[in-house]
Structure 1
């Protein structure tokens, strides 16, 4: 009897949690993280404060859930783009372009969620430990793109530092191998892959972050045009075909 009741209860709980998260996302879209207020969410949903806290113990607990969801959705978008590019037998340069475009598309389409995970940190907030793995899942598809590249002199110092990082952190090497399987047993290829992915992330965050924050308004260019130019320059730096 208890098991028969557990199914509907569990579904109701997950449905209510989803509704709370949807309400929180609307607040984020309207006013950013500063606008997030559990008491207001409870009022809008017709719940008492104590009732809402049965689903999320605190504002930070709710933020944790929103951040996990955002990373997971971004990782899914990147994974889909990577799979499509691979199926189309794209060259490394074309794959890089496709991944960069997918990242920008997700961020521009979900600006409040992008800013939640890549914007200014919330004062006093400490992200959950599993955030790192979720962030790596977003960046992972870039790793195989650069593994076979030929880094030029301009990016050689980054490659050298990534090689040192790999030597001091086995977990990083495992992450690279999980996405760029051809780098197994090849430290130099791992260093190239990691350097390219880190440089791609920094360029993406810089360009996309400025666009999402509205900093390109009135500057006479489109965000996708700028990102494509930056992506090609990075491809040139690694001599990607």
Structure 2
């Protein structure tokens, strides 16, 4: 989903400055982490006074919110595009890995350690629901042969708030959770460097986990 274009020169200039501020914020996060994000430091980098910068972002939390919103929106758009192109669980799995490797700091901002003292607004939850809806669609479309429900599936039948109003059956819910937890687990360890020196290719481990979840 593309962002609406600014309609006046003033709006276009404001949008340009906000994008520049976010660019420097990402650079600062890559160097020192999100918890050390400083609007005053960014202002100095772009030759702007602190008070002037606060005309574009009211504070650190608003800037972090914008970065988180952009990150989730990027993944939601990536998933939707792949699904519309016919990708199933395998395709979504590899889209997730490519998205994470393309910008590890973006990945860790939304799937790493929460920023101390920060609480994401509800509109970001709506975007994450879009991501999960695409995943649940894929899981429901690739259902394995019918089998007696597992204990987890029985539990999920009555505990499905995280799936919103999606009509996926409990077996698809279980598959979506397995996809999300197992693949994020491998990605988080890989991006944090925990596989360094272990002598195997993390891409092969990730592919094996993706295939296991997809039932191949």
TM-score by length of structure 2 reads 0.88
Q: Structure 1, residues 113-169: CA drift from partner, whole Å, max 9, x if none?
A: 00000000111111111121212222322212222334767x822222221024xx4
Note if contact 2:14-2:56 (Cα within 8 Å) is conserved in structure 1: yes
1:98-137 alignment, distance < 5 Å: 98-137=91-130
Structure scoring higher RCO (CA < 8 A, sep ≥ 6) equals 1
Alignment partner, residue 191 of structure 1: 170
Alignment partner, residue 229 of structure 1: 208
2: distance between equivalents of 1:119 and 1:150? Answer: 35
Cα distance 1:40–1:232, how it changes in 2: closer, same or farther (>3 A)? Answer: same
1: distance between equivalents of 2:75 and 2:125? Answer: 14
Higher helix share: 1
Note if contact 1:162-1:195 (Cα within 8 Å) is conserved in structure 2: yes
Cα distance 1:113–1:128, how it changes in 2: closer, same or farther (>3 A)? Answer: same
2: distance between equivalents of 1:150 and 1:208? Answer: 29
1:88-167 alignment, distance < 5 Å: 95-147=88-140, 148-150=143-145, 156-166=150-160
Alignment partner, residue 76 of structure 2: 75
Cα distance 1:70–1:129, how it changes in 2: closer, same or farther (>3 A)? Answer: same
2: distance between equivalents of 1:150 and 1:28? Answer: 46
1: distance between equivalents of 2:8 and 2:125? Answer: 32
Alignment partner, residue 4 of structure 2: none
Note if contact 2:38-2:60 (Cα within 8 Å) is conserved in structure 1: yes
- Check if 1:210 corresponds to 2:189: yes
Query: How many residue pairs align between the two structures?
Result: 208
- Quote the RMSD (CA, aligned, Å): 2.0
**Runs of at least 4 residues of structure 1 off by over 4 A?**
none
1: distance between equivalents of 2:150 and 2:135? Answer: 18
1:201 equivalent among 180, 183, 187: 180
Post-superposition shift, 1:80?
1.8
Note if contact 1:146-1:193 (Cα within 8 Å) is conserved in structure 2: yes
Larger Cα-atom Rg:
1
- Is there any run of 5+ residues in structure 1 with no aligned partner, and where? 1-5, 87-94, 178-188
2: distance between equivalents of 1:45 and 1:224? Answer: 38
- Is there any run of 5+ residues in structure 2 with no aligned partner, and where? 1-6
